[in-house]
Structure 1
């Protein structure tokens, strides 16, 4: 819903397809679009639907296997955007959206997906939630607590958490969002405690800013509460919430009350933490500050901007700066035995060291790390890095499937044009082993010239070229 809102705000049209049973979900969709297509029974049926409504892009969000959906859509010139949650819902797509915190520094095996957009910057928050950031804070005479477990709450954790809140014995008013629509839970309250049961609805989030504490499952609501700076206690309800749960606790934006996905909740520990949340003003202030510093709520807008860039890709080789998201494919390319054999460092890379290097490189003004793209795929990388004042060494690696297809010269030429825009006075240098004939011919053909040198007992070509000899587009 958050992404659909952002797409509409950016001037795009949106249609939905799927089977929506939740009344709240139906209400959200009807507010954005009057037409919902039945869920397709096959990849071919979804592709046909996309073509019939004139879609440029399909965004899919499901853990259910979708077969040949990427191939079917691409045959119809329709781009695929796929939401995944770590390994849940993983499939090949033109763009992968994974809002799992920390996902951007995890290795995702290359499956032919074109672009990755992952981590907290991609967490989509509905506009109606973001607008609540301007709601003024309150100072009630009695603490206010909300318990919201979301969905169908099959394990009835709503009642469990209400009972634990009551046992915490802190005078407060509790609003419990009960999907079962009960009028009472039969829980004994202590003096100074009051309980109000409400049904799930679109109006519930409007209560978030009025709460001193919200106790929630570790799903999407986690990020809505963090965006609003609401002090939160989290319960991990299912296995796929683990990344959210651990990240929120480790980054200090929520207090972890326990994990019930694989066992029983430690009720004594949970009660103690609920007491701390209600009694400690400083803890709540700290959680609120750290939450709003981490999340700005603009993930949906960024996702739509990524879609727009995807749709505007030129048909020829294009160049863009690398990001941490590219660490995985760079790791796979660089770790190939044939690539290591002609490199200065010939040992196997280790993921932790590699992702740390990429993180530093993309922020280092003395490194220009670029990604080459062509026909919906990342096909290679070119790196320029300073070796002495105003001298930049160039190196190139192509994706294995691109080698031997005559693409290297086009990739290098496009990368040089991109580079010289910001470095018109640079001297470019390339170094390769004498035995690396293909690399020598590539750089010689691109106008580099030089002689053989002996370095550590091996013969290397060291070739140079001036940036001034490169003609920008």
Structure 2
């Protein structure tokens, strides 16, 4: 099973958009048979609820290094990925280092990176820019891999596609009292724009624009400001009903709520793409700097009406007033925007990204193991006498060539020993040896073999250890069958080897440890009950 780490944060200042995209990818990855882990800091209640509902493990990110050691960030992320036995690291974060590709490649990992125009841009094996029109824009250096450009690759959650189906079933009859409007300025409304939108609505309604039902989604700390702005809305009179605000906190399933409205006024971030897929008319506000390019493209493509920037809304700029008046008063305009939006975003972006991860994984050279031959003698001797290899071995003394060749001949002739050479793309990268042990059995009559692994000096630091071990185990089991258990002895200070064996399913076995080494055992699968 492949495993992906999804690196993102969710905070009051940064919102939950990056997290929402990663959760969409987690859904698609799990449908495709992958396991997933979120890596990040999620310190807003909505984000924590979304993570809990998704059932995706969340682990804290590696500490951010000092600027002088910024190159270490990629190495730390690679180390975490190897510890969690990941194959792909996907980054959806503007603040994470752009220098990730090399350290992840050294660890044998695939890097996937999402960007929004120029924000979050970094070289990667899979580069995703899901902004509208990205396919015709400059993306910068995508690195050695594949570029997925445009809204076709926007990662959207299952809830968006469910809301899309629900929207199809809704009638679009005109409401005599005016359109039902939903206002949502992102998961945290960090800039406090929801109240400004309500004030702008009040001004436009005072000029004669129709407005029926109004719902505002905002965090509790913004509710007082929204209520204050809502006092400017039309009060109930003998001439007709007033406009009351249904004020709600952040929604776990915003797409389902939005599907029931005629118009949504939204921040120009991830939500605009979700609403486009649902097929609801949207009036967008560009709140943060990274939203301006996506806002411009969305308005030009006709999938949203543009109210301008947050400052335009706060000042009730003439263009913002006119755009909102049109959105409220022209059902045909709303219908056209909704139809164009729905046709532009089909909701399949997350599955397309996961498919690209598969392609990138397939491009990583597969490690295979073959039986050693007498012709490997000098190669194996050079590896055995490498200083780092000797330091990790139970015997740290260098080996003479004559002694080594004699040892190799004995090993190749011994049916109780299997010596393998692991190769990647036809080049030797390591060796794995299995020796039937004198410990006899583990548990109830299970044969026990001891494994030893060594990497070629040139192959170190690339995360190949787990692939070499797995290749050796495959080749060995083809010879001996599935029943033997495997014993690994590891020096207590060799933490990397201990992590390697634990991640490969080896469990501590104190009863088999010696004074100077720890023991780990990989037990065979339980035998099927007799039939």
TM range (shorter): 0.5 to 0.7
Q: Decide whether aligned partners of structure 1 residues 10 and 81 sit closer, same or farther in structure 2, where only a CA change above 3 A counts.
A: same
In the TM superposition, residue 290 of structure 1 has moved relative to its aligned partner by: 0.8
What SS does the corresponding residue of 2:259 show, helix, strand or coil? helix
RMSD over aligned Cα atoms: 2.3
Deviations 1:198-217 (A, max 9, x none): 00021333211110110011
2:356 pairs with 1:306: yes
The aligned runs of 1:257-276 (5 Å cut-off) are 257-260=307-310, 265-276=315-326
1:27 aligns with 2:16: no
The whole-number CA distance in structure 2 between the counterparts of 1:112 and 1:94 is 6
Q: Secondary structure at the match of 2:352?
A: helix
Matched, 1:156 2:186: no
Q: Count matched residues.
A: 318
Indicate which of 11, 24, 28 corresponds to 2:33. Answer: 11
Greater displacement, 124-133 / 177-186: 177-186
Rounded Cα–Cα distance in structure 2 between residues aligned with 1:171 and 1:91: 45
Q: Could you tell me whether the CA contact under 8 Å between 1:62 and 1:89 is conserved in 2?
A: yes
After superposing on structure 2, the runs of 4+ consecutive aligned residues of structure 1 that deviate more than 6 Å are: 261-264
The 3 A distance-change label for structure 1 pair 203 and 102 is closer
CA shift at 1:280, angstroms? 1.1
- Match in the other structure for 1:43: 74
Greater gyration radius: 2
Q: Offset of 1:257 from its aligned partner?
A: 0.6
Which residue of the partner structure matches residue 290 of structure 2? Answer: 240
Counterparts of 1:25-424 in structure 2, within 5 Å, are 25-41=47-63, 42-66=73-97, 68-110=99-141, 112-135=143-166, 136-138=169-171, 139=173, 140=175, 142=177, 143-169=179-205, 170-179=210-219, 180=221, 182=223, 185-186=227-228, 187-191=231-235, 192-260=242-310, 265-313=315-363, 315=365
Contact 1:86 1:98 in 2 (8 A): yes
Q: TM-score, normalised by structure 1?
A: 0.63
- What is the deviation of 1:302? 0.7
CA contact (8 A) 2:193 2:310 kept: no
Tell me, in whole angstroms, the C-alpha distance in 2 between the residues paired with 1:283 and 1:263. 20
1:104 and 1:265 map into 2 onto residues whose CA distance is 35
Whether the 8 Å CA contact 1:15–1:33 is kept in 2: the answer is no
1:405-434 deviations in Å (ceiling 9; x for gaps): xxxxxxxxxxxxxxxxxxxxxxxxxxxxxx
Q: Distance in 2 between matches of 1:207 and 1:109?
A: 37
Change in CA separation of 1:93 and 1:3 when aligned onto 2, cut-off 3 Å: same
Is there any run of 5+ residues in structure 2 with no aligned partner, and where? 1-22, 64-72, 236-241, 367-424, 426-531
The question of whether the paired residues in 2 share the 8 Å contact of 1:231 and 1:254 is answered with yes
CA contact (8 A) 1:164 1:267 kept: no
SS at match of 2:170: coil
Gaps of 5+ in 1: 317-374, 376-473
Change (3 A) 1:314 1:158: closer
Distance 2:353 2:347 in 1: 12
User: TM-score, with normalisation over the residues of structure 2?
Assistant: 0.57
